[in-house]
Amino acid sequence: MAEPTFNVLWLQSGGCGGCSMSLLCADTGDFAAQLRQLGIHLLWHPSLSLATGQGALQVFQDCLEGRTPLHALCIEGAVLRGPGGTGRFHLLAGTQQPMMDWVRRLSGVARHVVAVGSCAAYGGISAGGSNPTDACGLQYEGDQCGGLLGATWRDPQGLPVVNVAGCPTHPGWVLETLAALADGAQPFGAEQLDSLGRPRAYCDQLAHHGCARNEFYEYKASAEKPSDLGCLMEHMGCKGTQAHADCNIRLWNGEGSCARGGYACISCTEPGFEEPGHPFHQTPKVAGIPIGLPTDMHKAWFVALASLSKSATPGRVKRNATADHVVVAPMVRKTRLK
C-alpha cells in the first residue's frame, strides 16, 4: 500500500456539490482506504473533513506559506466573479475574502490545479442564462480560453488546468486523474489532455460507444416516447454520438448510464451543454435531418446510411424500438458447431 504523500485540497465554489456526491459513489466499500491505496492524502474537503472554522483556514494558510506541500488543488463549482469583478457574491466563510482570491492564491502554490466538473471547467450550469453572478471556469468561459486564471496560466509542471468535465463527474474520472497526477514514476503530461483540457483517459471515447441501444441506432429504429427501447438520437435529443465520455463503457455504480436509464445523453462533458438552444428531450432538425450529427460524419453520408439502414430494419428491431419491453426476442436458430 502506497504511503499518502500526494496532498489534495478540495474547495467548493459556485455549484450544487453534485460532483462530491458522485465521488462518494466510487465503486468501493471504503472510500478513505481507496485514497490511501492511491497515495492520496485529502488535506481538506468542505463536506468530508472534520476541520471547520480556524482549523480549516489554518490548512489553507499552511499551504500558502509552504509548511504543507500542495500537490493538487481541486475546485468544484464555477468561480463567481460578480458583482462588478469584486467576487463578493461568494466569500469564504470567516474571512470576508472572495473565494476567487483564495483560488488564485492557492493556484499559485499548487503543483497541479484540477477543475472537477463542467462548472469548474467551463462555467456550466452556474454560468447559464444571463449569468448574473459572472460565473466562469478556472481557465475557460464556455469553449473560450480565459476564465479566472487566464489562457496562458500553467502549473509548475507546465500543465494547464486539468478539466475533469462532467455534470456530475464519474468518480472513476476523478480518482484516476488524481492517481495519474500522483504517479511520479509516469509523470502526467500535456499529451494526456485533449484540446479542451480534459483527460484523454475518458474523453477519447464517446458516450455512444458501448451504448445498450446501439442495435437500434444501427438500424435507425427510434424511440418515440421516453419509455421506448429504441435509439434516442432521432427524436429524443440524445447526443451520445457527440459527447466525449466513456459513460457506457465505464458504467456508473457498475451498472448504469443515462441512456440505460431511459434518458437522452445531454453531452454534459462539453462546454455550453447547459444551453443547447432547444429542450433537452427534443432533437432539432432541418428538413427532417437532425442538426447534431455523429462526430466526424458528413451529412450526406449520414442521410445515405440512415435511408439504407431503415430499409433493412428487421421487424423485431422495429417493433421493440417503440415498446417499453422486448416484444419480439431474437430468433433461435439451430446451429452446428464445426
The pLDDT profile of the chain, 338 residues, written as one tens digit per residue, is 445 589 999 999 999 999 999 998 887 777 888 888 899 999 999 999 999 999 999 999 999 999 999 999 999 999 999 999 999 999 999 899 999 999 999 999 999 999 999 999 999 999 999 999 999 999 999 999 999 999 999 999 999 999 999 999 999 999 999 999 999 878 999 999 999 999 999 999 999 999 999 999 999 999 999 999 999 999 999 999 999 999 999 998 888 999 999 999 999 999 999 999 999 999 998 888 888 888 878 878 788 888 888 889 999 999 999 999 999 999 888 777 66
End-to-end CA distance of the chain: 49
Are the C-beta atoms of 114 and 178 separated by less than 8 Å? yes
Are the C-beta atoms of 246 and 199 separated by less than 8 Å? no
For the 205-326 domain, the top CATH level (class) is few secondary structures
Entry pTM: 0.93
Residue 118, helix vs strand vs coil: helix
Q: Please tell me whether the peptide bond between 83 and the residue prior to it is cis, using omega within 30 degrees of 0.
A: yes
Spatial strand order of the sheet with 72-76 comes to 40-44, 6-12, 72-76, 112-116, 162-164
| d(C-alpha 73, C-alpha 8), whole Å | 6
Residues of the chain with CATH 4.10.480.10: 205-326
Residues of the chain with CATH 3.40.50.700: 6-201
Q: What residue has cell string 434516442?
A: 232
- 290: enclosing H helix or E strand: strand 289-290
CATH code of domain 6-201 = 3.40.50.700
